[in-house]
Amino acid sequence: MQIEINQGLIVLAEGDITEEETDAIVNAANSRLRGGAGVDGAIHRAGGPSIMAECRRIGGCLTGQAVITTGGELKAKHVIHTVGPVYRGGTRGEADLLRSAYLSSLKLATAGGLKSIAFPAISTGVYGYPLAEAARIALATAIDYLRDHTDLEVVRFVLFDRRTYDAFAGELKKFI
Ligand code: ADP
Protein backbone atom coordinates (compact mmCIF):
# COMPACT_ATOMS: atom_id res chain seq x y z
CA MET A 1 0.00 0.00 0.00
CA GLN A 2 1.26 3.50 -0.76
CA ILE A 3 0.11 7.10 -0.82
CA GLU A 4 1.53 10.20 -2.44
CA ILE A 5 2.15 13.36 -0.42
CA ASN A 6 3.41 16.36 -2.41
CA GLN A 7 6.11 14.80 -4.61
CA GLY A 8 6.89 12.15 -1.98
CA LEU A 9 5.69 8.62 -1.38
CA ILE A 10 4.76 6.78 1.78
CA VAL A 11 5.00 3.04 1.22
CA LEU A 12 4.01 0.16 3.52
CA ALA A 13 5.74 -3.19 2.99
CA GLU A 14 5.87 -6.43 4.92
CA GLY A 15 9.42 -7.73 5.29
CA ASP A 16 12.90 -7.60 6.77
CA ILE A 17 14.36 -4.09 6.96
CA THR A 18 17.93 -5.36 6.65
CA GLU A 19 17.19 -6.14 2.98
CA GLU A 20 16.16 -2.57 2.15
CA GLU A 21 17.95 -0.57 -0.54
CA THR A 22 16.89 2.85 0.68
CA ASP A 23 19.61 5.45 1.38
CA ALA A 24 19.09 4.83 5.10
CA ILE A 25 17.34 2.28 7.27
CA VAL A 26 16.30 3.20 10.78
CA ASN A 27 17.21 1.10 13.79
CA ALA A 28 15.01 0.95 16.88
CA ALA A 29 18.04 1.21 19.15
CA ASN A 30 18.48 1.48 22.92
CA SER A 31 19.98 4.57 24.52
CA ARG A 32 23.41 2.99 25.01
CA LEU A 33 23.59 2.04 21.30
CA ARG A 34 24.93 -1.30 22.42
CA GLY A 35 22.79 -3.56 20.31
CA GLY A 36 20.01 -5.76 21.55
CA ALA A 37 17.29 -8.08 20.45
CA GLY A 38 14.72 -7.54 17.72
CA VAL A 39 15.44 -5.28 14.79
CA ASP A 40 18.59 -3.88 16.46
CA GLY A 41 20.22 -7.32 16.62
CA ALA A 42 19.17 -8.09 13.05
CA ILE A 43 20.71 -4.86 11.70
CA HIS A 44 24.04 -5.37 13.48
CA ARG A 45 24.20 -9.02 12.38
CA ALA A 46 23.51 -8.16 8.75
CA GLY A 47 25.58 -4.98 8.63
CA GLY A 48 28.75 -6.23 10.29
CA PRO A 49 31.02 -4.72 12.99
CA SER A 50 31.68 -1.29 11.44
CA ILE A 51 28.22 -0.12 12.55
CA MET A 52 28.87 -1.03 16.19
CA ALA A 53 32.34 0.54 16.03
CA GLU A 54 30.73 3.86 15.10
CA CYS A 55 28.03 3.44 17.73
CA ARG A 56 30.75 3.01 20.36
CA ARG A 57 32.45 6.22 19.23
CA ILE A 58 29.15 8.10 19.41
CA GLY A 59 28.51 6.65 22.86
CA GLY A 60 24.73 6.90 23.22
CA CYS A 61 21.49 8.53 22.17
CA LEU A 62 18.70 10.02 24.26
CA THR A 63 15.13 8.77 23.94
CA GLY A 64 13.41 10.64 21.10
CA GLN A 65 16.69 11.56 19.39
CA ALA A 66 18.65 9.95 16.55
CA VAL A 67 22.21 9.48 15.32
CA ILE A 68 23.58 8.32 11.95
CA THR A 69 26.28 5.77 11.13
CA THR A 70 27.55 3.87 8.13
CA GLY A 71 25.40 1.08 6.76
CA GLY A 72 28.41 -1.24 6.83
CA GLU A 73 27.71 -4.29 4.69
CA LEU A 74 24.02 -3.47 4.28
CA LYS A 75 22.58 -2.38 0.94
CA ALA A 76 21.51 0.85 2.67
CA LYS A 77 24.38 3.35 2.84
CA HIS A 78 23.46 4.53 6.33
CA VAL A 79 21.79 3.39 9.52
CA ILE A 80 19.92 6.02 11.51
CA HIS A 81 19.68 4.82 15.11
CA THR A 82 16.79 6.26 17.07
CA VAL A 83 15.54 5.47 20.54
CA GLY A 84 11.80 5.17 20.99
CA PRO A 85 10.13 5.29 24.40
CA VAL A 86 9.40 2.30 26.58
CA TYR A 87 5.59 2.30 26.93
CA ARG A 88 4.54 2.77 30.56
CA GLY A 89 0.82 3.34 30.26
CA GLY A 90 0.88 6.40 28.03
CA THR A 91 1.09 9.13 30.67
CA ARG A 92 4.86 9.63 30.60
CA GLY A 93 5.20 11.57 27.40
CA GLU A 94 5.43 8.42 25.28
CA ALA A 95 3.49 9.86 22.33
CA ASP A 96 5.70 12.97 22.11
CA LEU A 97 8.84 10.86 22.43
CA LEU A 98 7.73 8.45 19.73
CA ARG A 99 6.88 11.35 17.39
CA SER A 100 10.26 12.86 18.19
CA ALA A 101 12.08 9.59 17.37
CA TYR A 102 10.51 9.57 13.89
CA LEU A 103 11.00 13.31 13.36
CA SER A 104 14.67 13.29 14.47
CA SER A 105 15.33 10.43 12.03
CA LEU A 106 13.63 12.24 9.15
CA LYS A 107 15.58 15.43 9.90
CA LEU A 108 18.89 13.54 9.91
CA ALA A 109 18.00 12.02 6.54
CA THR A 110 17.27 15.36 4.88
CA ALA A 111 20.28 17.03 6.57
CA GLY A 112 22.43 14.35 4.93
CA GLY A 113 20.84 14.87 1.52
CA LEU A 114 19.24 11.42 1.58
CA LYS A 115 16.28 10.73 -0.70
CA SER A 116 14.83 7.57 0.82
CA ILE A 117 14.46 6.10 4.30
CA ALA A 118 12.96 2.90 5.71
CA PHE A 119 11.52 2.63 9.22
CA PRO A 120 10.56 -0.37 11.35
CA ALA A 121 7.65 -0.07 13.79
CA ILE A 122 9.64 1.70 16.50
CA SER A 123 8.80 0.83 20.14
CA THR A 124 6.18 -1.78 19.23
CA GLY A 125 8.30 -4.82 20.09
CA VAL A 126 10.12 -5.17 23.41
CA TYR A 127 9.23 -1.55 24.31
CA GLY A 128 5.53 -2.46 24.32
CA TYR A 129 3.89 0.51 22.55
CA PRO A 130 0.27 -0.32 21.53
CA LEU A 131 0.42 -1.06 17.83
CA ALA A 132 -2.44 1.01 16.35
CA GLU A 133 -1.48 4.11 18.32
CA ALA A 134 2.20 3.72 17.39
CA ALA A 135 1.23 3.30 13.72
CA ARG A 136 -0.91 6.45 13.81
CA ILE A 137 1.95 8.50 15.27
CA ALA A 138 4.49 7.07 12.80
CA LEU A 139 2.30 7.82 9.79
CA ALA A 140 1.13 11.25 10.93
CA THR A 141 4.73 12.32 11.54
CA ALA A 142 5.91 11.09 8.13
CA ILE A 143 2.94 12.65 6.30
CA ASP A 144 3.44 16.03 7.99
CA TYR A 145 7.13 15.89 7.19
CA LEU A 146 6.61 15.15 3.50
CA ARG A 147 4.13 18.01 3.26
CA ASP A 148 6.94 20.39 4.29
CA HIS A 149 10.00 18.70 2.72
CA THR A 150 9.92 17.93 -0.98
CA ASP A 151 13.59 16.86 -1.03
CA LEU A 152 12.80 13.52 0.65
CA GLU A 153 11.28 11.23 -1.99
CA VAL A 154 10.34 7.97 -0.28
CA VAL A 155 9.46 7.00 3.27
CA ARG A 156 9.01 3.24 3.60
CA PHE A 157 7.63 1.41 6.62
CA VAL A 158 8.99 -2.12 6.57
CA LEU A 159 6.84 -4.19 8.87
CA PHE A 160 8.04 -7.54 10.06
CA ASP A 161 4.78 -9.43 10.32
CA ARG A 162 1.25 -9.37 8.96
CA ARG A 163 -0.27 -8.07 12.20
CA THR A 164 2.01 -5.01 12.18
CA TYR A 165 1.45 -4.44 8.45
CA ASP A 166 -2.34 -4.63 8.93
CA ALA A 167 -2.21 -2.13 11.82
CA PHE A 168 -0.24 0.36 9.69
CA ALA A 169 -2.50 -0.19 6.67
CA GLY A 170 -5.60 0.35 8.82
CA GLU A 171 -4.22 3.65 10.14
CA LEU A 172 -2.93 4.81 6.74
CA LYS A 173 -6.42 4.40 5.23
CA LYS A 174 -7.67 7.01 7.70
CA PHE A 175 -5.32 9.59 6.15
CA ILE A 176 -6.60 9.09 2.60
P1 ADP B 1 11.58 -1.77 20.33
O2 ADP B 1 12.58 -2.07 21.42
O3 ADP B 1 11.69 -0.34 19.83
O4 ADP B 1 10.19 -2.16 20.69
P5 ADP B 1 11.94 -4.17 18.67
O6 ADP B 1 13.13 -4.49 17.81
O7 ADP B 1 11.69 -5.04 19.86
O8 ADP B 1 12.11 -2.62 19.07
O9 ADP B 1 10.62 -4.16 17.78
C10 ADP B 1 10.29 -3.13 16.88
C11 ADP B 1 9.61 -3.73 15.67
O12 ADP B 1 10.60 -4.24 14.78
C13 ADP B 1 8.68 -4.91 15.97
O14 ADP B 1 7.50 -4.75 15.16
C15 ADP B 1 9.48 -6.12 15.49
O16 ADP B 1 8.62 -7.17 15.05
C17 ADP B 1 10.19 -5.50 14.31
N18 ADP B 1 11.34 -6.22 13.75
C19 ADP B 1 12.14 -7.16 14.31
N20 ADP B 1 13.08 -7.56 13.41
C21 ADP B 1 12.86 -6.85 12.27
C22 ADP B 1 13.46 -6.80 10.96
N23 ADP B 1 14.51 -7.57 10.64
N24 ADP B 1 12.94 -5.95 10.03
C25 ADP B 1 11.88 -5.16 10.33
N26 ADP B 1 11.28 -5.15 11.53
C27 ADP B 1 11.75 -5.99 12.48
Which atom belonging to ligand 1 lies closest to the Cα atom of 18? 23
Question: Which of 93, 120, 86 shows the shortest CA–CA distance to 105?
Answer: 120
As a whole-number percent, the residues of the chain with pLDDT over 70 amount to: 100
Tens of pLDDT, residue by residue over 56-91, are 999 999 999 999 999 999 999 999 999 999 999 999
pLDDT value, residue 36:
83
Residue burial 149-158, b: 16+ Cβ < 10 Å; e: rest: beebbbbbbb
pLDDT value, residue 172:
98
Phi/psi at 16 (5° precision): -105, 120
Q: Indicate the pLDDT class of residue 176, thresholds 50, 70 and 90.
A: confident
Cβ atoms 2, 9 nearer than 8 A:
yes
pLDDT value, residue 138:
98
Domains, in order of start, for the chain: 2-173 (3.40.220.10)
Q: Where are the alpha helices (DSSP H) in 112-148?
A: 131-148
Pocket of ligand 1 (CB under 6 A): 16-18, 28, 38-40, 42, 84, 120-127, 158, 160-161, 164
Q: Indicate the pLDDT class of residue 35, thresholds 50, 70 and 90.
A: confident
Which SS3 state, helix, strand or coil, does residue 46 take? helix
